[in-house]
């Protein structure tokens, strides 16, 4: 069986609600639209933790963060945990990561054979939250409203620099695979191109900002003040300083315009990579997937960024196109833990290759337009702005949210897509709430998990202090490069180097 190539393009903090591919009337995402027009759009895809590093750990391992210990943005993903990069390599793939994956710890590859850029965020324990003082802000790292208030245009930012590098490095790596093809290397490849946009700060280059005008920027549908929130939502609102630093309408509009602009910028990167596949002649043999690590509230409910299980924060885009994928829309709930078994399925592997059980399932039956009996997504939040773990179960049309110190929440997403009515206290849903609560207690020992998380936090505080004092080397990834072997050098034949780099190669004379 022919193993198709895999190219997965990941955005950071992109809610599907704010894309043209998912029906937004203003946001321009022509390349995502084109992929959806020829492939499968998943309409109930979720992250497994609405925060960067834990979400990406679940994505890489196919396991819940409570199993891997990847609780927050400063927890190490252990090198002993297998990832899809390990499995794909075992199945004969050449693998590469270009861009962000927010690995924490000395292992900065986790099975990828090639990693062609550094990461954008630190790889150490600097961002460790403190559940023993959960109401105290880590001002150096925590989001706040200044990020929103500074929204607008700029010629350059560290995020623009980074994504331009990620896109260039990804395209060059792909073209090198095309060159390898001409020399007889027919191995399939898997590229993960992971961009930082449209993550805040909400600052866009003028050409993307100018795609939109002030009068077409829609405002948040659900407005809430601090006293309107559930306890967890209120904690998040307080922690990001939205409770006591209200924004003006102009500030909200500017942030949303910049976010829309940066979504279009990300979409342009999707187009560049798809075009590169076309230039390589690999389009018909490559499965292309576009997704994100989590969403962005973008002012809905008075909240910004992520760190909660409401739809704009927890849902993600997931669009897949390529060989074996039919055109359609999949309504079943799914999540990022399903990516690993999907990749193994695409590569022709089976459960026999797995080093440890995974929590996800392959999405290829849904991608082929087949029925899938599973219609659920599970979420865990074990990071800042809460003193206890928060759990989510999305099954069918209902979403249940549980935290030991908060009242339960239950929403009917069909009847109440904006999650305005918590029906957990409605006697008509008493049996359902009781069943969900029993499932939470069966799945998780919340108190034991909390103790484990606090223990790792206290250890990491001490380790970080020691590292700051000089114990050990920095873990930030430094991509290897040997300039003596690049382009044209004295030990090379100029004509041979010219021929090596040219693609497609000149046809040999008869």
Q: What is the DSSP string of 274-320?
A: HHHHHHHT-GGGEEEEEEES----TTGGG--S-SS-SHHHHB--EEE
- Name the pLDDT band for 140 (thresholds 50, 70, 90): low
Establish whether 102 is a catalytic residue.
yes
| Position 93 in a domain | yes
Q: Which of 132-141, 204-213, 315-324 has the lowest mean pLDDT?
A: 132-141
Over residues 182-203, mean pLDDT: 96
- Does 207 sit behind a cis peptide bond, omega within 30 degrees of 0 on the bond before it? no
Q: Which of 33-42, 155-164, 277-286, 493-502 has the lowest mean pLDDT?
A: 493-502
| Position 230 in a domain | yes
- Name the pLDDT band for 139 (thresholds 50, 70, 90): low
Distance CA 288, CA 347 (A): 14
Three-state DSSP class for 189? Answer: strand
Structural domain range at position 345: 5-369
- DSSP code per residue over 6-18: EEEEEEES--GGG
CA distances from 413 to 17, 301, 416 (A): 14, 16, 5
Looking at the structure of the chain, the number of domains it has is: 1
How much is the pLDDT for 108? Answer: 98
| Position 182 in a domain | yes
Tell me the CATH number at 167: 3.40.720.10
- Does 381 sit behind a cis peptide bond, omega within 30 degrees of 0 on the bond before it? no
Mean pLDDT of the chain: 95
| Position 176 in a domain | yes
Establish whether 334 is a catalytic residue.
no
- Name the pLDDT band for 230 (thresholds 50, 70, 90): very high
Query: Above 60 in pLDDT, residue 509?
Result: no
CA distances from 175 to 109, 167, 347, 501, 502 (A): 21, 12, 21, 9, 10
Spatial contact of 361 and 81, defined as CB atoms under 8 Å apart = no
Task: Name the β-bridge partners of 395.
Answer: 376, 398
372-400 exposure pattern, b = at least 16 Cβ within 10 A, e = fewer: beeebbbbbbbbbbbbbbbbbbbbebbbb
- Does 198 sit behind a cis peptide bond, omega within 30 degrees of 0 on the bond before it? yes
Over residues 82-106, mean pLDDT: 98
Distance CA 232, CA 382 (A): 12
Distance CA 335, CA 368 (A): 17
DSSP strand pairing (45-46 vs 334-335): parallel
Query: Above 70 in pLDDT, residue 510?
Result: no
Task: Name the β-bridge partners of 345.
Answer: none
| Position 474 in a domain | no
Considering the candidates 17, 31, 52, 197, report the single residue annotated as catalytic: 52
Considering the candidates 17, 86, 102, 229, report the single residue annotated as catalytic: 102
CA distances from 327 to 28, 109, 287, 346 (A): 21, 34, 13, 17
Token pair for 444: 């998780």
Distance CA 196, CA 56 (A): 13
Name, in order, each residue with C-beta under 8 angstroms of 409's C-beta and a sequence gap of 6 or more: 230, 399, 400, 401, 402, 422, 424
Over residues 24-43, mean pLDDT: 98
- Helix H, strand E, coil C: the string for 452-490 is HHHHHHHHHHHHHHHHHCCCCCCCCCCCCCCHHHCCCCC
| Position 129 in a domain | yes
pTM (whole model) above 0.85: yes
Token pair for 218: 């829609």
Distance CA 90, CA 104 (A): 24
Q: Residues for the chain: how many in total?
A: 510
| Position 460 in a domain | no
Spatial contact of 496 and 183, defined as CB atoms under 8 Å apart = no
| Position 325 in a domain | yes
Query: Above 50 in pLDDT, residue 490?
Result: yes
DSSP strand pairing (334-335 vs 376-381): unpaired
Query: What sign for the dihedral angle of Cα 408, 412, 416, 419?
Result: positive
């Amino acid at each position: 069986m022919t193993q198709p190539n895999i190219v997965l393009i990941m955005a950071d903090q992109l809610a599907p609600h704010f894309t043209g591919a998912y029906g937004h009337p203003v946001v321009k995402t022509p390349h995502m639209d084109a992929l959806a027009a020829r492939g499968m759009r998943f309409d109930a895809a979720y992250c497994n933790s609405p925060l960067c590093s834990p979400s990406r750990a679940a994505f890489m391992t196919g396991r819940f963060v409570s199993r891997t210990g990847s609780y927050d943005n400063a927890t190490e993903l252990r090198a002993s945990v297998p990832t899809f990069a390990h499995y794909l390599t075992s199945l004969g793939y050449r693998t590469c990561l270009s861009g962000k994956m927010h690995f924490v710890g000395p292992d900065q590859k986790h099975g990828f054979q090639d990693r062609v850029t550094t990461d954008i965020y630190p790889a150490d324990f600097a961002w460790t939250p403190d559940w023993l003082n959960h109401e105290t802000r880590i001002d150096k790292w925590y989001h706040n409203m200044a990020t929103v208030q500074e929204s607008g245009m700029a010629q350059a930012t560290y995020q623009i620099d980074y994504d331009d590098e990620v896109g260039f490095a990804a395209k060059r790596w792909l073209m090198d695979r095309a060159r390898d093809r001409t020399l007889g290397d027919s191995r399939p490849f898997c590229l993960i191109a992971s961009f930082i946009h449209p993550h805040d700060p909400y600052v866009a280059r003028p050409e993307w900002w100018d795609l939109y005008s002030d009068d077409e920027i829609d405002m948040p549908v659900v407005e809430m003040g601090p006293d309107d929130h559930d306890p967890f939502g209120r904690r998040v609102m307080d922690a990001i300083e939205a409770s006591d630093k209200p924004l003006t309408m102009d500030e909200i509009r500017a942030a949303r315009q910049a976010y829309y602009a940066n979504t279009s910028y990300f979409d342009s990167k999707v187009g560049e990579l798809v075009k590169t596949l076309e230039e390589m002649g690999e389009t018909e043999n490559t499965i292309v997937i576009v997704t994100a690590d989590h969403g962005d509230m973008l002012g809905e409910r008075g909240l910004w960024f992520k760190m909660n299980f409401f739809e704009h924060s927890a849902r993600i885009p997931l669009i897949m196109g390529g060989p074996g994928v039919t055109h359609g829309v999949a309504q079943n709930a799914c999540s990022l833990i399903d990516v690993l078994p999907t990749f193994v399925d695409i590569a022709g592997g089976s459960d026999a290759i797995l080093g440890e059980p995974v929590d996800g399932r392959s999405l290829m039956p849904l991608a082929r337009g087949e029925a899938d009996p599973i219609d659920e997504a599970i979420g865990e939040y074990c990071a800042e702005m809460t003193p206890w773990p928060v759990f989510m179960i999305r099954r069918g049309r209902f979403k249940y949210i549980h935290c030991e110190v908060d009242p339960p929440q239950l929403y009917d997403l069909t009847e109440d897509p904006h999650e305005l009515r918590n029906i957990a206290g409605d006697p008509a849903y008493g049996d359902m709430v009781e069943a969900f609560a029993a499932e939470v207690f069966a799945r998780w020992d919340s108190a034991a998990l909390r103790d484990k998380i606090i223990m790792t936090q206290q250890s990491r505080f001490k380790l970080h202090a020691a590292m700051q004092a000089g114990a050990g080397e920095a873990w930030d990834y430094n991509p290897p490069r040997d300039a003596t072997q690049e382009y044209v050098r004295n030990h090379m034949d100029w004509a041979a180097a010219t021929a090596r780099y040219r693609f497609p190669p000149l046809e040999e004379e008869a």
